[in-house]
């Protein structure tokens, strides 16, 4: 026996950190030694591939668990070889030795990973099907710096951590191995032995691209190549688009509950089905983008995807990664962009995932005052650790690279920015402040990197505080987001609309206040899923008014007001059909409501006003230009009427938006207008085709000389009850 008894015990007991130093082929005094540790092997032969028939040598079995060794006296030069085993079930196998292959990660890769700036880290860590020296198999690499031992376990080695022990790569904390013969679909996990605990435990692969369904949650070896994309035209157009000056109307979707299939047990649509149906619906409704609530893998259905365990993997619930690609491709071919919710703020405590990954606080902070999110019972990422920030940035980049998405809506940014977010006990930063400097730097670097790598990508912040510069470029000291959800506007408008119309005059300022800060950031107006759950009522239920018809009319008027207020737009699914109950993640939307005129009317009104916004590119170009907005009258609280102008690029075209948020029809209502002539009534939420009463201005208003509100030009209007009307005119002083 060449190996010592203690070394043999270390290997067979899976306690030796560097199995590669003992297993495989090694030069030694007087010759070459070859060792193998093989599960379920009764006997083993070494096959010299230089002469497979004559070069067979029986190896000595040193341990009943499958440890074999052979000493080749006098040989000095290593040679290519395979093993041939007879298993206890009588099966004969020939295969290559995992310990005969060089590392798949080079020194340059290790340098970039340690630096925290490897933009293709997902091509190094995780599992990857490869051909090395003509041998097919899979490489595995994982970051676990404090572990004593890491093994790949799976359905190819009976989930036994004694076999396929990985090697550490220097001081990087990365463990790696190439296993010949592992193929597509093999399930695996990492078995880890912590520094101060002799009980090994199992963890999923943080970089895996596919997972087994709960409760097993195994990572799955999967090849992402082979899908033939057909969205080149869309990607090219996206790269040339400045979305701050283009129409952006986003339809927020929870894939599992948008539509279900009644004839098939009410199952959710799969990726391919929803791609076709959603593309057609978004085109019909004049949405420019769809935003999916998180589709990265998550174990608990009730988290809606916001407690992620697989940051690189499309959830298995709706199909394979390639079917996810097909969904995105279909949407792109139909001119619909794809935004996905991304959750770098926190992660769940599930024992099989990131929490305490290598037996230490690896991805999270050790101090719970920094590492625990008390609101959600989750853990916060340690953004100051370069490998952690690289893991997260790599996740963001991978969704753009591998799956061609067009943007990320970054969830819970406020919880990242502040060390005292929802905490009574917290630790100030090095300057004594409450800002999380590491998280701020991470967001800046990620936004800058994504914009540099993927022109036209949209980065959207769900950020609810007054943090300055969220949408300012990083080069100018900002965080570098393209858009910020305007949650203040959302709360103020809903607080106003929940009031009975008779009381709204006392809350008039809620609608006018957002104009005070409207142009401090690049805002996106949003009514999201958060507003229609947990007892908050569906959108139609929020509307004040004594009667159902009033509530429906309120909703039509609100959507028209929203789509012509400055900024980009997001609306959660179901809101456009006046969903009757709160959103339920495990049920379909109430599409049956469209048999009723009132619900069809809300849908049609939203479609048409979004079509006006989409159809006039000059309007969207001024979404963030203060010169593109002006109040006509912000002070008519007694009548609960709001009126404002939206100017298109260059001031050549203007829209006048007038909203009457009471059930009283107002005839002879005077407003000033910027120029004389005809103003076409291009939208009226009270039109008969929307289920309204049909009051209005018969499609045309003429502005003429009159003294009104201190101005010299104006018009007299009929304002329908509970309505928004939109007038459009071209400046007659500017020739076509």
Residues designated catalytic: 411, 462
- 6 within 8 A of 22, measured Cβ to Cβ: no
Q: What span, in angstroms and rounded, lies between the C-alpha atoms of 308 and 354?
A: 10
- 339 within 8 A of 458, measured Cβ to Cβ: yes
Q: What span, in angstroms and rounded, lies between the C-alpha atoms of 7 and 67?
A: 12
| Beta-sheet strands, E only, within 486-578 | 523-527, 568-572
Q: What span, in angstroms and rounded, lies between the C-alpha atoms of 614 and 629?
A: 18
Q: What span, in angstroms and rounded, lies between the C-alpha atoms of 20 and 38?
A: 14
- 481 within 8 A of 459, measured Cβ to Cβ: yes
Beta bridge partners of 278: none
CA terminus-to-terminus distance, the chain: 95
* Residue 603 CA, distance from chain mean position: 27
CB contact set of 385 (below 8 Å; sequence gap of 6+): none
Q: What span, in angstroms and rounded, lies between the C-alpha atoms of 126 and 122?
A: 7
DSSP per-residue string spanning 322-333:
HHHHHHHHHHHH
Burial bucket for residue 303 (CB in 10 Å: 0-12, 13-18, 19+): middle
The sheet carrying 41-48 orders its strands as 56-58, 41-48, 81-87, 92-95
Other Cβ atoms within 10 Å of 730 Cβ, number: 16
Let me know how long the chain is: 736
Instruction: Tell me which residue of 715, 710, 709 sits closest to 676, measured CA to CA.
Output: 715
CB contact set of 424 (below 8 Å; sequence gap of 6+): none
CB contact set of 79 (below 8 Å; sequence gap of 6+): 48, 49, 50
- 371 within 8 A of 361, measured Cβ to Cβ: yes
Q: What span, in angstroms and rounded, lies between the C-alpha atoms of 514 and 26?
A: 73
Coarse DSSP helix, strand, coil percentages of the chain, rounded to the nearest 5 percent: 30, 30, 40
Q: Is 728 helix (H, G, I), strand (E, B) or coil?
A: strand
Tokens of 292: 């999916």
* Element spanning 279, H or E: helix 271-285
């Amino acid at each position: 026996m060449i190996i010592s008894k203690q070394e043999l015990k270390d290997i067979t007991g899976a306690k030796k950190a560097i199995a590669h130093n003992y297993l495989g082929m090694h030069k030694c005094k007087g010759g070459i030694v070859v060792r193998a540790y093989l599960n379920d092997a009764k006997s083993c032969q070494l096959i010299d591939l230089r002469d497979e028939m004559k070069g067979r040598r029986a190896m000595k079995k040193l341990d009943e668990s499958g440890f074999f060794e052979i000493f080749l006296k006098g040989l000095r030069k290593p040679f290519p070889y395979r093993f041939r085993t007879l298993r206890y079930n009588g099966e004969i196998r020939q295969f290559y030795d995992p310990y005969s292959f060089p590392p798949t990660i080079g020194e340059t890769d290790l340098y970039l990973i340690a630096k925290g700036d490897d933009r293709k880290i997902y091509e190094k860590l995780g599992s990857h099907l490869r051909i090395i020296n003509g041998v097919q198999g899979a490489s595995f690499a994982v970051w676990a710096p404090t572990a004593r031992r890491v093994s790949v376990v799976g359905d190819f080695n009976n989930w036994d951590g004694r076999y396929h022990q990985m090697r550490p790569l220097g001081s990087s904390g990365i463990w790696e191995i190439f296993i010949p013969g592992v193929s597509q679909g093999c399930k695996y996990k990492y078995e880890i032995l912590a520094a101060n605990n002799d009980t090994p435990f199992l963890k999923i692969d943080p970089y895996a691209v596919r997972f087994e369904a709960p409760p097993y949650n195994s990572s799955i070896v999967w090849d992402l190549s082979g899908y033939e994309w057909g969205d080149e035209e869309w990607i090219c157009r996206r790269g040339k688009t400045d979305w701050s000056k283009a129409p952006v109307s986003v339809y927020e979707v929870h894939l599992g509950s948008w539509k279900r299939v009644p004839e098939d047990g009410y199952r959710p649509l799969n990726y391919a089905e929803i791609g076709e149906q959603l593309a057609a619906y978004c085109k019909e409704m004049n949405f420019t983008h769809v935003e999916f609530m998180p589709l990265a893998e998550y174990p608990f259905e009730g988290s809606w995807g916001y407690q992620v365990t697989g940051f690189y993997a499309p959830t298995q619930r709706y199909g394979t990664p390639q079917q996810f690609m097909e969904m995105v491709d279909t949407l792109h071919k139909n001119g619909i962009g794809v935004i996905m919710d991304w959750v770098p703020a926190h992660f769940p405590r599930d024992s099989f995932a990131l929490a305490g990954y290598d037996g230490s606080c690896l991805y999270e902070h050790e101090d719970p005052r920094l590492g625990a999110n008390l609101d959600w019972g989750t853990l916060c990422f340690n953004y100051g650790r370069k490998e952690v920030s690289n893991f997260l940035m790599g996740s963001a980049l991978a969704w753009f690279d591998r799956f061609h998405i067009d943007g990320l809506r970054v969830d819970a940014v406020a919880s990242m920015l502040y060390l005292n977010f929802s905490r009574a006990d917290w630790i100030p930063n090095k300057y004594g402040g409450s800002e999380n400097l590491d998280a701020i730097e991470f967001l800046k670097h990620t936004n800058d990197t994504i914009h540099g790598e993927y022109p036209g990508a949209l980065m959207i912040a769900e950020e609810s505080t007054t943090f300055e510069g969220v949408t300012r470029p990083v080069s100018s000291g900002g965080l570098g987001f393209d858009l910020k959800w305007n949650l203040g506007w959302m709360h103020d408008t809903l607080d106003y609309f929940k009031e009975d119309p008779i009381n709204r005059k006392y809350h008039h300022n809620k609608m006018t206040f957002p104009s005070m800060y409207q142009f401090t950031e690049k805002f996106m107006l949003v009514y999201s899923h958060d507003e229609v759950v947990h007892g908050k009522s569906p959108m139609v239920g929020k509307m004040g008014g004594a009667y159902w018809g009033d509530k429906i009319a309120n909703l039509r008027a609100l959507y028209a007001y929203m789509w012509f207020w400055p900024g980009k737009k997001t609306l959660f699914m179901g809101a456009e059909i006046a969903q009757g109950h709160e959103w339920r993640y495990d049920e379909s939307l109430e599409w049956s409501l469209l048999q009723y005129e009132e619900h069809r009317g809300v849908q049609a009104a939203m479609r048409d006003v979004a079509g006006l916004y989409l159809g006039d590119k000059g309007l969207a170009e001024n979404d963030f230009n203060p010169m593109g907005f002006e109040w006509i009258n912000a002070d008519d609280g007694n009548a609960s009427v709001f009126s404002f102008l939206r100017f298109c690029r260059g001031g050549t075209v203007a829209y006048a938006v007038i909203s009457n948020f009471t059930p009283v029809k107002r005839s002879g209502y005077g407003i000033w207008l910027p120029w004389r002539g005809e103003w076409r009534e291009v939208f009226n939420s009270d039109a008969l085709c929307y289920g309204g009463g049909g009051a209005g201005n018969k499609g045309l208003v003429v502005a003429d000389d009159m003294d009104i509100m201190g101005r010299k030009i104006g018009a007299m209007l009929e304002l329908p009850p509970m309505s928004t009307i939109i007038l459009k005119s071209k400046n007659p002083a500017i020739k076509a």
